[in-house]
Structures are given as C-alpha cells and as structure tokens.
Structure 1
Amino acid sequence: MSFEEQYDTHFDEIFRYIFYMTASKELAEDLTQETFMRFYRSDFRGESSVRTYVHQIARRIVYDHFRRKKLIQWLPFTQKHEQVTTALEDVLIIKEEHEQLYNALQQLKLSYKDVLIYRKLEGYSIQQTAHILGWSETKVSNTQRSAMKQLQLLLGGMQDEA
C-alpha cells in the first residue's frame, strides 16, 4: 500500500488513541500528524504489521510529549485545566453518559490507560495489545485487571461486565 492509503486506513484509529491519551483535540491532531510524518520518514522493514508499527510510533510520541512537558503523574494524569469534558462529544459524537467514564480514564496511570484504550475502546486482543506495547500477554492481562479495578473505584464502584 502507498503512504496515502496507509494514512487513510490508520488515521482515525491513531487519532482516537492519541485523543484518549491527551484529552485535547488540537494536541491529538498535532501528534497524529507527527506520527505519520515519522512513519513516512521511517525505514519500515515489515517486521510487524503497519498497524502495530504506526501505533508504536504514536505511543512513543505521546510518551515523549508528556516527558517533555513533565506532565507524567500517577494520579491525576492530567491537570484540571487540561481536562476536556465536551471535546469528546465534538470529536467522537459520544453520548453524555460516557463523559464520566472518559474523565475517570484521564485519572488513570499511563500503563492502565494504554491497556484500557487498546483492549476496551479499540477492541484489540490481548495478543495484539501485548505486541503493540512490547509486553507479555500476562502483563497485559494483569494490568487490565488492575486498571479495571482502579476505574471502578474512580466511577464509584460501578461494575463492568465486559
């Protein structure tokens, strides 16, 4: 596939991932563009799927952004002035009841957030998530379980059957 086809195929997925991680539409747009610029300039050798490779680039860019801005904190993950409550509706047209879940997600530590975005929001398998994150399948499973417990606490003890 050409670069343009790869861009069209993966843009929405990468944008959503970055948006969930950053809680900023504008920042997500910028970092998504940076992701595809790095992909275009990269020497992709086909050792993994393009999807996995682009996600790994996006993940590194998001982590680098937070390191550069010195924003990484365990709880809360974002500062109050950075939290976006209505941008999710504007960008993803999600119903109002998802706002509480989205805000709780922003309070999780980075590894929990990564796993929940890939597993629950994007619907990746444990194997796919492990490959993207460079973790073992056991670590993905254990992190997901811990993340779900923490998310339930943040949501006031709501149960998740998924």
Structure 2
Amino acid sequence: MSFEEQYTQHFQAIYRYIFYMTGSKELAEDLTQETFLRVYNRGELHTEIAYIRTIARHLVYDHYRKKALIQWLPFTKQHEQQTTALPDLLIAKEELRELMKAMQQLKLSHKEVLIYRKIEGYSIEETARLLGWRTTKVVNTQRSAMKALQRILGGMYDDVE
C-alpha cells in the first residue's frame, strides 16, 4: 500500500480521534498532518491503523504536556436542558456541543476510553489493545469516565455495554 493510499484510508479516522481528544478543528487538522508526516518520514508503510493511532495519541499527549493542560480542564458553562420547541436536528446538535464541552473537562485517559468505546464503538478488548492496557483497566476507566461525565452534565448515568 502506498503512502497516498494509506493517507486516504486512515485520514478521517485519525482526524476524528484527534478532534474528539482536543475539541479543536484547527488543532485536529495540524496534529493529523503531523501524524502522517511522521509516518511518511519513518519511511515504513504500516497498514495497521493502531500504529498510526499510537503516533496520533502521542502527539495529543505531547500537546497537552506542552500546554500544561494534562490536568482537568476548566469548566466554562453549566449544562442546560433545552426547554424550547426546536427541531430535533437543532436539539441534537446542541446536545452534541454540550457533550463535547463536557468531554473536554475529562482526564485524557477518560476521554480516550470514551472515544474508543462509546463514539467509535470499539470492544473492550480492541480498546485495551489500542491503549496497551489490560481489559480490566479499560472497564474501570470507562466506569469512572461515565460517572465523571454524569457529574459534569448533571444527567443520568447509563453505562450499557
């Protein structure tokens, strides 16, 4: 597989992952490009997305370390329930925006597990392999992350597998 094919095949997944981790389109674009630049500069073609995700993950963590944001991010706005009769699409968009704000307040490990498990739909075993963790750590981190999200959003805690 050529680099161009690899880039085309994996770009969207890597961009989405970085966007969910950072909450910034511009930063996600920059770090996605940096990810593929590093893959290209290594001169090795890796068809496994896990390899490329590892590079992306390290770049995101490096970004937060450099910015000294590895701790909890500041809470900027309380979650508000929609009470107006907006069309379903607008309500869903607002709920997604609130969820993204809440996700930015989670620890990186919590955010990462929720992205893999709840947003991208990976199994516990796949998530453990991607993160280099044991499955029990994935389960425990997911439970803690869901509870933290519940506290932030003030909503119901629902951790259905």
TM range, smaller chain = 0.7 to 0.9
Give, in whole Å, the separation in 1 of the partners of 2:95 and 2:64. Answer: 28
Task: Establish whether residue 26 from structure 1 lines up as the match of residue 26 from structure 2.
Answer: yes
Q: What 5-or-longer segments of structure 2 have no aligned partner?
A: 77-91
- Say which SS state the counterpart of residue 97 (structure 1) adopts: helix
Equivalent position to 1:72, from 70, 83, 86: 70
Report the AA paired with residue 159 of structure 1.
Y
Report the AA paired with residue 29 of structure 1.
E
Offset at residue 72 of structure 1 (A): 1.5
Aligned residues of 1:71 and 1:78 also touching (Cα < 8 A): no
Report the equivalent of 1:85. Answer: none
Give, in whole Å, the separation in 1 of the partners of 2:74 and 2:29. Answer: 18
1:30-109 alignment runs, 5 A limit: 30-42=30-42, 44=44, 50-73=48-71, 75=72, 77=73, 95-109=93-107
Aligned residues of 2:116 and 2:127 also touching (Cα < 8 A): yes
Report the equivalent of 1:111. Answer: 109
Offset at residue 58 of structure 1 (A): 0.2
Q: How big is each residue's C-alpha offset from its partner over 1:50-92, in whole Å with a ceiling of 9 and x where there is no partner?
A: 110011000000001111122211x2x2685xxxxxxxxxxxx
Equivalent position to 1:147, from 135, 145, 148: 145
Report the equivalent of 1:8. Answer: 8
Q: How big is each residue's C-alpha offset from its partner over 1:117-147, in whole Å with a ceiling of 9 and x where there is no partner?
A: 1111111111111111111111111101111
Give, in whole Å, the separation in 2 of the partners of 1:72 and 1:31. Answer: 17
TM-score by length of structure 1 reads 0.82
- Say which SS state the counterpart of residue 72 (structure 1) adopts: coil
Aligned residues of 2:143 and 2:159 also touching (Cα < 8 A): no
Report the equivalent of 2:17. Answer: 17
Q: CA RMSD in A?
A: 1.9
Q: Check 1:148–1:16 CA distance in 2 against 1; reply closer, same or farther (3 A cut).
A: same
Give, in whole Å, the separation in 1 of the partners of 2:125 and 2:39. Answer: 23
Report the equivalent of 1:90. Answer: none
Give, in whole Å, the separation in 1 of the partners of 2:75 and 2:14. Answer: 23
Q: What 5-or-longer segments of structure 1 have no aligned partner?
A: 81-93
Q: Check 1:142–1:40 CA distance in 2 against 1; reply closer, same or farther (3 A cut).
A: same
Report the AA paired with residue 68 of structure 1.
K
Give, in whole Å, the separation in 2 of the partners of 1:99 and 1:79. Answer: 14
Identity %: 63
